[in-house]
Amino acid sequence: MSSNKCRAGNFRRALIESDLLHYVVTLLGQLFSGTHLPVRLSFLSKTKTADAKRGFRDRR
């Protein structure tokens, strides 16, 4: 199990260092029937605008 955690951590680190991770949305647990686990949606982007790289977020 620990080797899987290590691989997952390395994968997440590579996404951040390569500037592919745009944002992450965390949903509450028990949102879907039959599971009590929270869900995280990761959105990736290869073409970020200059504003996104500075940290600007349009939260409309």
Q: What pLDDT was estimated at residue 55?
A: 62
The answer to whether residue 1 scores a pLDDT higher than 60 is no
Gap between the Cα atoms of 58 and 60, Å rounded: 6
Cβ contacts of 17-26, under 8 Å, gap ≥ 24: 19/48, 19/53, 20/44, 20/45, 20/46, 22/48, 22/52, 23/57
Q: What pLDDT was estimated at residue 7?
A: 87
What distances in angstroms separate CA 31 from CA 1, 10, 39, 43, one per listed residue?
26, 28, 8, 19
What is the number of alpha carbons within 13 Å of residue 9 lying toward its C-beta?
A: 6
The model's pLDDT over 7-60, given as tens digits with 9 standing for 90+, comes to 888 988 888 888 888 888 888 888 777 878 888 888 888 876 655 556 655 555
pTM to 2 decimal places: 0.56
Q: What pLDDT was estimated at residue 59?
A: 53
